[in-house]
Chains A and B, each alone.
Chain A
Amino acid sequence: MRRAPIMRDIVIAVILVAVLAAIPYLTPSKAFQDFVIRCSSMALFAMSLNLLVGYTGLSSFGHGLFFGLGTYTFELLMQNTGLSLPVAALATLLFTCVTAIVVGAICIRLRLIYFAFVTLAMQMLAHSIIISWVSLTGGDQGLQGGIPRRFLFGLSLENQYNLYVFSGAVLAVGLLLMRHIVSTSFGTSLRMIRDNEARAAFLGISIWRVKLTVFVLSALFAAVGGMIMSLFVSGAYPELINWPISGDAIFAIVMGGVGSFLGPTVGTMILLLLNDLVTRQTEYYGLALGIIILVFALGLRRGLLDFITERLGGRPAGGIS
């Protein structure tokens, strides 16, 4: 019985990806495929941030650093080396891992607002390096010129349909992995630290080890999101590592719900839909988004999925079994 939930989740994920793959045969909407690709990228990013914010109580304001690092590292490796796509992706993850250990070691000992601001400072530092190092990164023009050798097991990811199915599948695998992480004993340690760090320490948990581990794991998922974005935009641009991108992920979490596992995914969909719909109608996108955030924060006082879960009599905010 205990293994049933994960099997159920895998079955659901496979079915969803199959449905996703079938949809273009029914309707040829390119806009829908674009939406799914962007959504996969941003949802992975927002979900990874929620490992820190929602599960561990670590409010990072600079998580976009790892999203942007994923786009730039991947793009640089593809353009400047002869590595194949999967190898370049693995090398990107390795580089992200090392960076996250260094950044995490500096940040995780800080508390609350100090943690938030130092993570933000780290991202601004990375952004200014990207902007200034023109010979490597193209400065404020970003890395243009596309991505060569975009093949994965013989499939071209230049083909939009292939990239669309691939992105959906990567998101599904990412969600399954994160689902697994939060349901392990390690996942319970995250909630213990969020609820009561001192008590967790007095039960023998090494706080810094747990925090650094989750920091690195979440950075890796964010970098995967960044790589998908890089494939989608065929490049890497400074906006993808600038601090508003971290804000987008926080908005997605707030709108979708910190306490429900899939909250940030739902929040990402809302955010992107708003983005597409509102920018079509008005140039005051920020104003419209601000008002909607206020509705969630002051009206529902929680994210959409948390709200629904509570209405159905459930217990979000990190219920375990």
Chain B
Amino acid sequence: MNSPAQPGGPPMLKISGLTKRFGGVAAMSDVTLDFAAGTLSAVIGPNGAGKSTFFNLISGAIRPDAGQVVFKGEDITGLNRAAIVRRGIGRAFQVASFFPSMTVEENLMAGIAAHRSQWSDLNHRFPRQGVRARALEVAEMLGLQDKAAVLSANLSHGDQKLLDIALALALEPSLLLLDEPTAGMGPEERWQMIEKVQRLWQQQNLTLIFIEHDMDIVFGISSSIRVLCYGRVLAEGTPDEIRANPAVIEAYLGTPVEEDAA
């Protein structure tokens, strides 16, 4: 395997031979990838390349037909969603996913209570001690503190995406999966979002993998890039290596990236 040079140390996430079929269609075939601890990696590829399936397989939303997912040295293949979350993999969604009948603060308190294994607690009133304070801390990480009392259903689209990420952070994950954090945003809003994501990554000592369609963002902030195409790994490497990769240019980027971006 010619893995790209990775600065962060031992692999946080090791994926080997991952395969998933839906009916006759192979959504993921024999994908083998390593993600080093502390890196910020992008997963790109054309529509239907299997990017979301890839996240679903890692996070336990669907079970692979073959292959292995090893997280921090532990085989987590085939575990359910809740079990994988408890091991430290947090996830935000392409369509912001939260609890619309609750305020921002209540959303985060609910997530924190779940993380502290209080979700089955029938003895104490909600929220238990320390949960509210921690919720405000998490809200502050994403600049949501002023909207703590706002009903989440009434938030702007961008703030709902932030809340989704904040919910994932409430779990104090070591690996964070972001599925198109800038989906549906205008150019200016996108960069505000990406700056927040980048700051989080630095401050919270996270390993972060994100799916993104905006190539300016992908090539601008990633330490490494994986390109998926028809459920296979087409290429992996640093932004410079991907930019120069003939297979990627032909299958996905079409024209050299510099021109595309200009």
- Which of A's residues lie within 8 Å of B, judged by CB? 2-3, 5-6, 180-181, 183-189, 191-192, 194-196, 198-207, 209-210, 213, 315, 317-321
A265 to B164, CA, bound (A): 36
Residue from B59, B119, B170 with most neighbouring chain A CB atoms (10 Å): B119
Are A195 and B102 within 8 A (Cβ)?
Answer: yes
Q: Kindly list the 4 A-B residue pairs having the minimum CB-CB distance in the complex, ordered from nearest.
A: A195-B99, A185-B118, A203-B114, A204-B85
Are A320 and B106 within 8 A (Cβ)?
Answer: yes
- B85: chain A residues at CB < 8 Å are 201-204
Are B121 and A185 within 8 A (Cβ)?
Answer: yes
In the assembled complex, how far is the CB of residue A292 from the closest CB belonging to chain B, in whole angstroms? 27
Are B125 and A195 within 8 A (Cβ)?
Answer: no
Size range of the chain B interface in the assembly:
35 or more
A180 to B167, CA, bound (A): 26
- B127: chain A residues at CB < 8 Å are 185, 188, 321
- B111: chain A residues at CB < 8 Å are 203
Are B97 and A196 within 8 A (Cβ)?
Answer: yes
- Which of B's residues lie within 8 Å of A, judged by CB? 59, 61, 80-82, 85-86, 90-91, 97-102, 106, 109-111, 113-115, 117-128, 151, 167-168, 170-171
Contact A200 to B122, CB < 8 A, known contacts A191-B101, A195-B102, A315-B151: no
A242 to B222, CA, bound (A): 63
Are A203 and B115 within 8 A (Cβ)?
Answer: yes
A196 to B81, CA, bound (A): 14
Contact A206 to B128, CB < 8 A, known contacts A184-B122, A188-B110: no
In the assembled complex, how far is the CB of residue B199 from the closest CB belonging to chain A, in whole angstroms? 23
Are B101 and A318 within 8 A (Cβ)?
Answer: yes
A189 to B113, CA, bound (A): 9
A sample of 23 inter-chain contacts (CB < 8 A) reads: A181-B122, A184-B125, A185-B118, A185-B119, A185-B120, A189-B120, A192-B110, A198-B61, A199-B98, A199-B167, A201-B85, A202-B90, A202-B97, A202-B168, A203-B115, A204-B114, A206-B82, A207-B82, A210-B119, A318-B101, A319-B101, A321-B106, A321-B126
